[in-house]
Amino acid sequence: MKTVLITGCSSGYGLETARHFHAKGWNVVATMRTPREDMLPRSDRMQVVALDVTSPASVAAAIRAAGPIDVLVNNAGIGVVGAFEATPMSTTREIFETNTFGVMAMMHAVVPQFRERRSGVIVNVTSSTTLAAFPLAGVYTASKTAVDGLSGSVAHELAAFGVRIKLVEPGYGPGTRFAENGGARMQGLIPDAYRPFADPIFTAFANPGAVTTAADVAETVWQAANDASDRLHFAAGPDAVALVQAKAA
């Protein structure tokens, strides 16, 4: 029976992905900053572990608690929307600490055991902002695009040891807690000078067409984790798939 460790399981994509892998019969190590076991099925195949991906001590403790794993899903992330000019460098560093350096830290933590066993899969959940340029998402896009570049490069290195890396790129998910989680850090990031530009964009966000659900992402992560080919990119959700198709046209 295989074991998956998933980061950021307190809500949204991570929570649904943990449930999905458990339903498929896997052992699941569901991590979150503040563990809440009541959110997930009670099962001897479900382990809830505390993890802050920005803390080296927390990462090391979570890896010890999990024991040997077969798949790492780097899902933990935080969001920010705003004009680049108005986004403080302190906020930018906060975004990168979780979205980029947190992913690197988790990869560093599991690669040795994967390399030694000559097996394992790392699934990095990024964003459809890496597939097309979106306004008011510069810092967030940068943090996710860095992970895309990292993953493609390291995939070549680890392939020599039978270890695979996959990228799952979800579309716009209004059903997630993206705005709620980023609310405080987004205050003041749309100065008055940007309002005429930003207001129509926010109106469009409030009335989206095709969107991505947590179930879309969970199923795509499952597919990526079990894909034995050298495929790297997996768009998740109809809007993300449409972006890929538009680029290919």
Residues annotated as catalytic (active site), given as ranges: 140
Within 8 A by CB and 6+ apart from 164, the residues are 120, 121, 122, 155, 158, 227, 228, 230
Number of residues in the chain: 249
Within 8 A by CB and 6+ apart from 236, the residues are 168, 169, 170, 171, 212, 216, 217, 219, 220, 221
Residue 9 CA to residue 24 CA, distance in Å, equals 17
Q: What is the DSSP string of 36-92?
A: -GGGS---TTEEEEE--TT-HHHHHHHHHHH-S-SEEEE-------S-GGGS-HHHH
Collapsing DSSP states into helix, strand and coil, what is residue 234?
A: strand
